[in-house]
Amino acid sequence: MFFKDIAGHKAIKQKLIGAVQQNRVSHALLFSGPEGNGKLSLAIAFAQYLSCENKSENDSCGTCSSCLKYQKLIHPDLHFVFPVIKKKASEKPISDTYIKEWREFLSNSVYHGFEKWLKKMGTENQQAGIFAQESEEIIKKLNLKSYESEYKIMIIWMPEKMNISASNKLLKMIEEPPPKTILILVTEDSEKIIKTILSRTQLIKIPKINEQVMYESIKEKYEIEDAKIKEIVRTSDGNYLKAEELILNNANSSEQENFSLFAQFMRDAYGLRITELIEWAEKMAKSGRETQKNFLQYALKLLRENFILNISPENQNKVLFLTDNEKNFSIKFNKFIHKNNIFQLTNEFNEAYNHIERNGYNKLIFLDLALKTARLLKIKPQ
């Protein structure tokens, strides 16, 4: 992976390269930012540059022995930790259990998402995590001497998915790192990482991709009409992963399904169709927890966009990031989302998300959400 492969983030790339050139690389880094901004690839490109035998001023050389192994993700001093699933209750999976799938996942795109990783592992119905047994692997790998490079580098993707046992072992490793060891944590939700780890890492915020940068990148890579590129850039809102899905017409897989569920749910809730709401809750309960969480996040986004449309309809082209289907629905629906219910609705969907994440009884959670939503939609704007 090269810095040049990742769209934008020029200042961050220069900062990382400067740290290497000045020999001022922190032993524990935290790359934090939203999905689809290339932060995982940025971490790999940084690790490759750090290990490169013939660095240039702007990137790794790509031809030395180290770079060639990095490009295949098989360098012996590069280690990965990432969320995995338990296909059986008795299983004790670690990252290495899925290393083949992981290398394929990374090689398929510069931009990566958690939902896509779940599909790569062959499931959307199980909760993935970094479990206690992984902590022993982390200690074992980082206590080994480096084989070829000056540094051993471990990239931990989604550390917010770590259980408390693994987090405490990682904390000890950060506090007392083995010599010539660098840890790079890559997160989308730093608030879920224990504070003692956060306080001991150097935070590097990776923002969403600038609209102009994304426009130029898509224009260079794909043969698409200019107007279509602008629509994709607007809809994807700095998320290159979503932009790629729109380009490849795959957005209808999860995004379109979420929209259909949301639209019908809101119609049934407003109409207080109890039978349909019970059926909706049962359908949601049968889907996997990650699918449920994904829907709730999507619903929160659409509620927000409808509220913005309600309070500033004249600025809809500037502030909204909606597909055509979402926009057509929202033009009629936004009047029901206003200052007297938006905060309560947001709170209820956030509460449902938190309960699902804590393994609550999902059928009851969704039925409760449905009835509360029905009540809140009846609140008048004045």
252-276 confidence digits (pLDDT tens): 456 778 888 999 999 999 999 999 9
Edge to edge, what strands does the sheet with 78-81 contain? 78-81, 152-157, 181-187, 28-32, 202-205
| CATH number of the domain that residue 279 is part of | 1.20.120
Q: Return the DSSP state at 210.
A: P
Express each pLDDT in 99-144 by its tens digit.
999 999 999 889 999 988 988 888 766 678 898 888 888 888 888 8
207-210 LR contacts (CB < 8 Å, sep 24+):
207/9, 207/33, 207/34, 207/37, 207/238, 208/33, 208/34, 208/36, 208/37, 208/237, 208/238, 208/239, 209/7, 209/8, 209/9, 209/36, 209/37, 209/38, 209/238, 209/239, 209/240, 210/8, 210/238
User: For residue 30, how many C-alpha atoms fall within 13 Å in the half-sphere facing its CB?
Assistant: 23
Based on the fold, state whether residues 109 and 140 are members of the same structural domain.
Answer: yes
3-state SS class at 155: strand
Express each pLDDT in 152-178 by its tens digit.
999 999 999 988 888 888 888 888 888
| Contact by Cβ (8 Å): 243, 214 | yes
pLDDT at 251 exceeding the cut of 70: no
Mean pLDDT comparison of 60-69, 114-123, 284-293, highest-scoring range:
60-69
| Contact by Cβ (8 Å): 357, 293 | yes
Q: Could you tell me the two tokens for 121?
A: 């592992």
User: Is 169 part of a structural domain of the chain?
Assistant: yes
Distance CA 272, CA 376 (A): 11
Dihedral sign computed on CA atoms, order 53, 57, 58, 61: negative
Based on the fold, state whether residues 200 and 218 are members of the same structural domain.
Answer: no
Q: Which residue is it, tokens 């500033």?
A: 312
CA distances for 125 relative to 67, 288, 291, angstroms: 37, 3, 7
Based on the fold, state whether residues 31 and 166 are members of the same structural domain.
Answer: yes
User: Is 382 part of a structural domain of the chain?
Assistant: no
User: Is 151 part of a structural domain of the chain?
Assistant: yes
What pLDDT score was predicted for residue 336? Answer: 92
Q: Could you tell me the two tokens for 337?
A: 């989302």
User: Is 321 part of a structural domain of the chain?
Assistant: yes
User: Is 170 part of a structural domain of the chain?
Assistant: yes
User: Is 41 part of a structural domain of the chain?
Assistant: yes
Helix and strand numbers (H, E) in the chain are: 18, 5
Based on the fold, state whether residues 29 and 110 are members of the same structural domain.
Answer: yes
Based on the fold, state whether residues 75 and 120 are members of the same structural domain.
Answer: yes
Based on the fold, state whether residues 295 and 220 are members of the same structural domain.
Answer: no
Based on the fold, state whether residues 244 and 257 are members of the same structural domain.
Answer: no
- Residues of the chain with pLDDT > 70, as a percent, come to 94
Comparing 35 with 165, the larger pLDDT belongs to 35
Distance CA 253, CA 207 (A): 26
| CATH number of the domain that residue 186 is part of | 3.40.50.300
| Contact by Cβ (8 Å): 241, 112 | yes
Q: Which domain holds residue 267?
A: 251-377
Distance CA 44, CA 24 (A): 18
What pLDDT score was predicted for residue 249? Answer: 64
Question: The whole model's pTM is what?
Answer: 0.74
Distance CA 179, CA 197 (A): 19
Average pLDDT rounded to a whole number, residues 206-216: 92
Q: Return the DSSP state at 36.
A: T
pLDDT at 26 exceeding the cut of 50: yes
